[in-house]
Amino acid sequence: MTMLFLLLVVPVVILAVKPIEMLASAGLVLPLLWRRSRPVFSAGLVAAVSVLQIIFYVIPVPAQVAVLIILYALAAHAPRWASLGGLAVASVGCFAGLLRYSADFGISPFEVSASLPLFAIVAVLVEALVLLCWAFGDLARNRRLTLQALEDRTRRLEVERQQERDLAAADERSHIALEMHDIVAHSLSVIITQADGARYASAQDHTVAPATLGTIAETGRSSLREMRRLLGVLRGDEETSTRPLPALADIAALIETVQHAGLSTTYAVTGTNR
């Protein structure tokens, strides 16, 4: 990028005839190297060279276009105050330059009254060009800020989606942990109750033990199936059943299981479902 810039700048500097013009050209174009990284500093150098040109009456050179370039860079990359300040300085400076060098181009408003309309036209065109360069830079600045805002919004949305996924995963883990606790607690309660009941009842009736052991085995197998189902959900197995937690409609099956364990259980329903 720097080599391309130098290839464009060197011919402009060489076009200057006098050494003072070459020096002015170099002073105008070299600060453009920092027009993006340090736009305020670069604009200050260009403004200083332009003011010295007016003071010491150095004829405008082709490199004077650097004023428009640095004005665009100020509007696009510098803070707002520097952008507006650069527009004001460039407008005043260009008008002062027209007044300073108008006699050399035959459009001085102070020599011939007929030259005043032509001077006014040239002044309007120059100021319009200055304003146009600033407007293009300001549009580029607004576009860059808009893109940055969209990128920031996209990052925030991605973070929010990740947080929602994490919360959903945490909720699912809590749901599965609660279901596993219910399965284990219920199964162990039935198994312990059956074992204690069989131990005491077998002393009176030896035929109770086989039936009780069958109930314990069936309860263990049922619990094992439920545990396998939940572990399959955790592994992401698509073939694993994902039936919901037991609801009120499953109370009858639960009561039947408890009754098979030999416990006296009553179940009553009051009212009707709507």
pLDDT in tens, 127-149: 999 999 999 999 999 999 999 99
Contact 225, 161 (CB under 8 A): no
Contact 231, 215 (CB under 8 A): no
Residue 178 CA to residue 180 CA, distance in Å, equals 5
**Confidence bin at 238 (pLDDT 50/70/90):** very low
pLDDT of 190-202, one tens digit each? 777 777 766 666 6
Phi and psi (nearest 5°) for 38?
Answer: -135, 70
How far is the C-alpha of 59 from the C-alpha of 56, rounded, in Å?
Answer: 9
- Token digits for 56? 């010491």
Q: What share of the chain has pLDDT > 70, as a percent?
A: 69
Most confident option among 21-35, 75-89, 213-227: 75-89
Confidence band of 85 (pLDDT split at 50, 70, 90):
very high
Of 16 and 61, the structure prediction assigns the larger pLDDT to: 61
Q: What is the pLDDT of residue 234?
A: 64
Contacts of 142 (CB under 8 A, 6+ apart): none
The pair phi, psi for residue 268, each rounded to 5°, is -135, 145
DSSP state of 271: S
d(Cα 185, Cα 177) in Å, to the nearest integer? 12
In the block, tokens 């810039």 appear at 5
The count of other CB atoms within 10 Å of the CB of residue 83 is 22
> Alpha helices, DSSP H only, in 202-242?
208-235
pLDDT of residue 254: 67
d(CA 230, CA 235): 9
Residue 265 pLDDT > 90, yes or no?
A: no
- pLDDT (tens digit per residue) in 105-131: 667 666 655 567 788 888 899 999 999
Query: CA-based angle 53:83:43, to the nearest 5?
Result: 35
Query: Who has greater pLDDT, 180 or 53?
Result: 53
Determine the Cα–Cα distance for residues 247 and 245; give it in Å rounded to an integer.
6
**Measured distance CA(170)–CA(167) in Å, rounded:** 5
**Which residue, among 72, 133, 67, has the nearest Cα to 94 in the 3D structure?**
67
- 208: Cα separation from own chain's centroid: 70
Q: Which of 162-166, 207-211, 238-242 has the highest mean pLDDT?
A: 162-166
- Whether pLDDT at 29 is above 80: yes
